[in-house]
Structure 1
Amino acid sequence: MHSGAIFLIEFGGIILGLGLLGRIAGRYGFSPIPLYLLAGLAFGQGGLLPLDTSEEFVAIGAEIGVVLLLLMLGLEYTATDLVQNLKTQYPAGAVDFALNALPGAAAALLLGWGPVAAVVLAGVTWISSSGVIAKVLGDLGRVGNRETPVILSILVLEDLAMAVYLPIITALLAGAGLVAGGVTLAVALGAAGIVLFVAVRYGRLISRFVSSDDPEKLLLVVLGLTLLVAGVAQQLQVSAAVGAFLVGIALSGEVAEGAHTLLSPLRDLFAGVFFVFFGLHTDPASIPPVLLPALALAVLTALTKIATGYWAARRAGVAVRGRWRTGGTLVARGEFSIVIAGLAVSAGIEPALGPLATAYVLILVILGPLAARFTEPVARRLSLSAPPAPASEAVEPVSQGSTRS
């Protein structure tokens, strides 16, 4: 009974703390992710007040948080949208990978961490934060801008790449050999292909089967189906997150909208628990030794993300100011970087990887919104010697406001 009371006190304190931190972040207009990570550092190994009784439950909540993050991401897109993005925007995805994943891999090799850690750190530096970027676009009033579809296309391609990347690192972290790793990847690709095919052809039937006018029944069916598929995927060594992502893709229309509304509070709760859990397993004393490498990597990959966005927007015919805005908006890293690093921390492949990823995300989740706001004005000031922009470009956000993704 005593341990049960301690558990309720600890877990209740975590949830209350998340709510207060979220309110602070909302009041000052920035993402709460860095505050959640700092809270985890404060109550984890080597922190101010280490947790004891509730840690196991927090670990389960963190797994559910990852599953819900990917489910909600899948609900944002239809299978048709994904296929269309693959056909038209794959060059931008290739440039994104080359400019942002390779620096992470190179940094891991230079630090002497080995090839598996290099693959993991490549993912940490590659994937932008969809959640932070979506919030920034809304806060800055840029949802209707000409460059916004380009930004969303790059995010969609990164999300699709996760369906291939996560099974690869899962197999590598599990120590699977070439044959076993190839089988795991084949299963993941086959499952993704089948789900996309079924979603395109039979998405309406699936949505009709899941649909319910009763919010309670809809919530239970969607959540139960997601956890079931995620568990089966993890049993097949594919990735629970990929399974959840594919469930989200398969649902569409009113079902997807209803599920999104019902599951958003649960996602926010368990995603917050996930970030706290990651911080719990990072010793604050381990961050200062990797702070300089993390800062250098953050600055480098911020610049490469800006270059990625600029190139992609130029290819789409966006004006110069919109190109700079595209690049600046893509800088933020967040949830996916922590998800990837969390897999590596759980596998115990490199003790310094978790602290470096924590410091890296903390830097870029703060720098990202600033880059989105100020990259274009700074670039304009640095090019004062260039000819003035055409009048049509100067009013781009207004004249292009009807163009939406």
Structure 2
Amino acid sequence: MHVAEALVVLGGAFLLCGLIARIGVPIGLPTIPLFMIVGVAVGPNTPGFDLVADPGELELIARLGLVFLLFYLGLEFSLDQLVAGGRRLVAAAAIYLVLNVGGGLALGFAVGWGTGEALVIAGIVGISSSAIVTKLLVDLRRLGNRETRLILGIIVIEDVFLALYLALIQPVIGGATDPADAVEGIVTAFAFLLALALVARHGTRVVGRLIDTTDEEIVVVVSVGLAILFAGLAEEVGVSDAIGALMVGLVLGATAKAPRLRTLVHPLRDAFAAIFFFHFGLSIDPAGVLDVLPQIAAAVAVTLGLCLVAGVIAARMHGYGRVQAANIGLTVLTRGEFSLILASLALAAGLDGRIGSFTAGYVLVLAVVGPFAVSRSESLSRFLPARLLPDRTARPESVEELTMDVGPTSLFQLGTDLLQIHILPGSKLHGVYVAELRLPVGTTLGLMVRAGTTQALRPDTRLRTGDVVLVFTPPDQRQAVEERIRAVHRSGRLARWHGDLGR
């Protein structure tokens, strides 16, 4: 393709994706399926105008989109978040993964496309879209809900599982021809994961020096260079480039520059990811989607049922009611970037081409059903068995006089302690985002007084010197809360990595 023609094609792809998103987002549709629809519409498999005659012409740009998606995912991951959730959160996430990945594997074998295809379908059906889930929580203003921490915890553990899963199915996407090749692929992938995980755990300071500068241009250039370089090296040694990008993101995500790096890389992720999803749509034949409609319908039904079951189990484990159970199960229902990444890798490995059509239709259906169901979760919660999840929000028949006392006695009756934190000059709490405090489950950040004004705390609120922060915590969690705040005060947001437990 001539340079001028290539620029026109690439610019047209970006512009069309932006325009369709501008139309769809205001009515509540996620951008991921919209970008994919654009690719289908102007691709070679759809009659009419073909913006891109050969999808291979955008292959490199699309691969960069994949690299930035996984790189940013690694930047967002935090071991502290995982540890802070406790055993119940890990158990709830494990149950969710066992149910959904197990159900996806059973479905994969049931459709009879092959063992390799069944393993890929298990991941496609089993892993939800963290991007769409997070956006739904923000759009529906549910970040303050008590079950939201559990939902976000499930997403974090899914991210960890994704890295392990990509390594496990490396023989499938790497084209292993015999058991020896399969074992070699798995061992190589896990060795690569282990090596970079050790760097992330013990080499943070060394790696951090590479981007230890106030010049944001250099930070971005060096970080992007590392992401693309290690993605290529991973591909060279027979490991998926997705694993390489993910692990480099995890390494850089443990450095002091991680919060700023996430902000700087976010636009790159959004732009190139749009081309990745657009490129995936180019390879989809609409007639092929119609051919696999029964499989798509079965996958949607399996996912809906298993997500609700997982939501009910998680709610029971945490003492939540029917509304919270519905919120959990329906919020993690949507599928998106991870499903398309797995399908893309499968198609590149030469697996059954129906996987592409199946994934496209499956993601599109859930992209519509998911947000619609989440927005009406309170009404839909009535269909969950009341005997399994008693509705604790039901109003009593007789309404007593409202009590509005505030003071130590009221806090005692509520079973909570109030901590007042004054951020003094020199404290490393300065500059830390509220979400980065990662306080124990059950703790609630109340209000903040700044420069004489009171305001509510949000996850993206950045603490400053002079702030006074109020924290409500159950008495049995008070010591853990104090230790975590003390650790961040002394060692900053990476206190746990530096071995500071606040004791």
TM-score, length basis structure 1: 0.90
CA distance in 1, matches of 2:242, 2:25: 27
Instruction: Give the partner amino acid of 1:10.
Output: V
- Tell me the residue number matched to 2:311: 309
- Quickly say closer, same or farther: Cα 1:79–1:206, change in 2 above 3 A: farther
CA distance in 2, matches of 1:78, 1:205: 19
- Tell me the residue number matched to 2:73: 73
Shift of 1:390: 4.4
Say whether residues 1:37 and 2:20 are aligned partners.
no
- Quickly say closer, same or farther: Cα 1:382–1:94, change in 2 above 3 A: closer
- Tell me the residue number matched to 1:247: 248
CA distance in 1, matches of 2:390, 2:92: 28
CA distance in 2, matches of 1:67, 1:367: 28
- Tell me the residue number matched to 2:151: 151
Instruction: Say if 2:43 and 2:52, in contact at 8 Å, map to a contact too.
Output: no
Shift of 1:146: 1.2
- Quickly say closer, same or farther: Cα 1:284–1:104, change in 2 above 3 A: same
- Quickly say closer, same or farther: Cα 1:106–1:388, change in 2 above 3 A: closer
Say whether residues 1:3 and 2:5 are aligned partners.
no
Q: Secondary structure at the match of 2:25?
A: helix
CA distance in 2, matches of 1:258, 1:400: 26
Name whichever of 259-268 and 120-129 sits farther off. Answer: 259-268
- Quickly say closer, same or farther: Cα 1:388–1:181, change in 2 above 3 A: closer
- Tell me the residue number matched to 1:377: 379
Name whichever of 380-389 and 231-240 sits farther off. Answer: 380-389
Cα RMSD, aligned residues only: 2.7
- Tell me the residue number matched to 1:46: 45
CA distance in 2, matches of 1:92, 1:218: 37
CA distance in 2, matches of 1:187, 1:83: 28
- Tell me the residue number matched to 1:211: 212
- Tell me the residue number matched to 1:160: 160
Instruction: Say if 1:30 and 1:369, in contact at 8 Å, map to a contact too.
Output: yes
- 1:91-135 Cα offsets, whole Å, 9 max, x none, are 334322332123322223222211111001111000000000000
Counterparts in 2 of 1:153-302, with a 5 A limit?
153-176=153-176, 177-251=178-252, 252=254, 254-302=256-304
Instruction: Say if 1:41 and 1:279, in contact at 8 Å, map to a contact too.
Output: yes
Instruction: Give the partner amino acid of 1:42.
Output: A
CA distance in 1, matches of 2:233, 2:212: 23
CA distance in 1, matches of 2:212, 2:54: 36
Structure 1 residue runs of 5 or longer lacking an equivalent are 394-398
Q: Which has the larger radius of gyration?
A: 2
Shift of 1:36: 1.0
CA distance in 2, matches of 1:388, 1:78: 34
Shift of 1:67: 1.0
- 1:197-243 Cα offsets, whole Å, 9 max, x none, are 33233324422432221111011000001111111111122221111
Name whichever of 335-344 and 43-52 sits farther off. Answer: 43-52
Instruction: Give the partner amino acid of 1:351.
Output: G
Instruction: Say if 1:85 and 1:156, in contact at 8 Å, map to a contact too.
Output: no
Instruction: Say if 2:44 and 2:52, in contact at 8 Å, map to a contact too.
Output: no
Instruction: Give the partner amino acid of 1:380.
Output: R
Instruction: Say if 2:171 and 2:185, in contact at 8 Å, map to a contact too.
Output: yes
- Tell me the residue number matched to 1:365: 367
Instruction: Give the partner amino acid of 2:380.
Output: V
- Tell me the residue number matched to 1:396: none
Shift of 1:374: 1.7
- Tell me the residue number matched to 1:23: 22
TM-score, length basis structure 2: 0.73
- Quickly say closer, same or farther: Cα 1:64–1:86, change in 2 above 3 A: farther
Shift of 1:10: 1.7
- Tell me the residue number matched to 2:432: none
- Quickly say closer, same or farther: Cα 1:274–1:356, change in 2 above 3 A: same
- 1:324-358 Cα offsets, whole Å, 9 max, x none, are 21111110000000000111112222121110110
CA distance in 1, matches of 2:111, 2:36: 24
Instruction: Give the partner amino acid of 1:173.
Output: I
Percent identity between the two aligned chains: 35
Shift of 1:382: 6.4
Instruction: Give the partner amino acid of 2:356.
Output: G
Q: Secondary structure at the match of 2:169?
A: helix
CA distance in 2, matches of 1:88, 1:378: 25
Shift of 1:82: 4.3
- Tell me the residue number matched to 2:99: 99
Instruction: Give the partner amino acid of 2:333.
Output: V
CA distance in 1, matches of 2:384, 2:200: 48
Q: Secondary structure at the match of 1:287?
A: helix
Instruction: Say if 1:79 and 1:249, in contact at 8 Å, map to a contact too.
Output: no
Number of residue pairs matched by the alignment: 399
- Quickly say closer, same or farther: Cα 1:35–1:390, change in 2 above 3 A: closer
CA distance in 2, matches of 1:214, 1:44: 41
Name whichever of 224-233 and 5-14 sits farther off. Answer: 5-14
- Tell me the residue number matched to 1:61: 61
- Tell me the residue number matched to 2:337: 335
Higher helix share: 1
Instruction: Say if 2:88 and 2:318, in contact at 8 Å, map to a contact too.
Output: no
Name whichever of 6-15 and 378-387 sits farther off. Answer: 378-387
Structure 2 residue runs of 5 or longer lacking an equivalent are 397-441, 447-457, 460-503
